[in-house]
Amino acid sequence: MTTITNTMLNPLVHALQRSGLLAEDLDYHVVRASMVIMFFFFGYQKWFPYEFERLVPFISNGPLIWWLYPVFGHAGASYFLGVSEWTFGTLLLAGFWDKRLGVLGALGSTGTFIATVTIIPFMPESWDVAAGGFPAMTGTSPS
């Protein structure tokens, strides 16, 4: 059984070694790839009317993104966020080959995470103070 397993795995291991995927910084590459995938899917969902309406309470109460509706309207704000997420995901992907582009993508990603996290304290009815005396997030907060 061991011989069969080794026979099947050796070509795979050699191919992975040649590709560079088994480098010292494999964890770094996996995190980067997962971020690219995340930004692709999050950006994709911003192009549908259902998402336009779903974002209303979040954008309206976001202290850093409230201005999107007066400037772009509901659909335009969602498109803006989608394009931004795809742009940062693309920059992160390009960072595999050019570290400078990856740094730009990381900075943009940091901005999106900060803008998202700052929504939480400002969402109406998103905190349940009665939960054991400690404020706990409810279903309306973006968790």
pLDDT in tens, 50-109: 999 999 989 999 999 999 999 999 999 999 999 999 999 999 999 989 999 999 999 999
More confident residue, 50 or 135: 50
User: pLDDT at residue 143 above 90?
Assistant: no
Overall domain count for the chain: 1
Q: By the 8 A CB rule, do 78 and 46 touch?
A: yes
Q: How much is the pLDDT for 23?
A: 65
CA distance 102 to 139: 34
Sorted by sequence, the CB contacts under 8 Å of residue 29 that are 6+ apart come out as 21, 23, 96
Helix 26-45 and helix 99-117: axis angle, to 10°?
A: 60
In a domain, 109, yes or no: yes
In a domain, 106, yes or no: yes
Q: How much is the pLDDT for 26?
A: 73
In a domain, 5, yes or no: no
Q: How much is the pLDDT for 94?
A: 94
In a domain, 74, yes or no: yes
More confident residue, 127 or 39: 39
Max CA separation in the chain (angstroms): 67
In a domain, 12, yes or no: no
Six token digits for residue 40: 């692709």
Q: How much is the pLDDT for 112?
A: 94
Determine the straight-line distance between the first and last CA of the chain, rounded to whole angstroms: 47
Supply the DSSP symbol for 121: G
Using DSSP's 3-state secondary structure scheme, residue 136 falls into strand
Q: Give the whole-number percent of the chain exceeding pLDDT 70.
A: 78
Supply the DSSP symbol for 46: T
Six token digits for residue 7: 């026979």
In a domain, 66, yes or no: yes
Q: By the 8 A CB rule, do 85 and 42 touch?
A: yes
pTM of the full predicted structure? Answer: 0.74
The residue segments making up the domain with residue 53 are 25-122
Q: Give the whole-number percent of the chain exceeding pLDDT 90.
A: 55
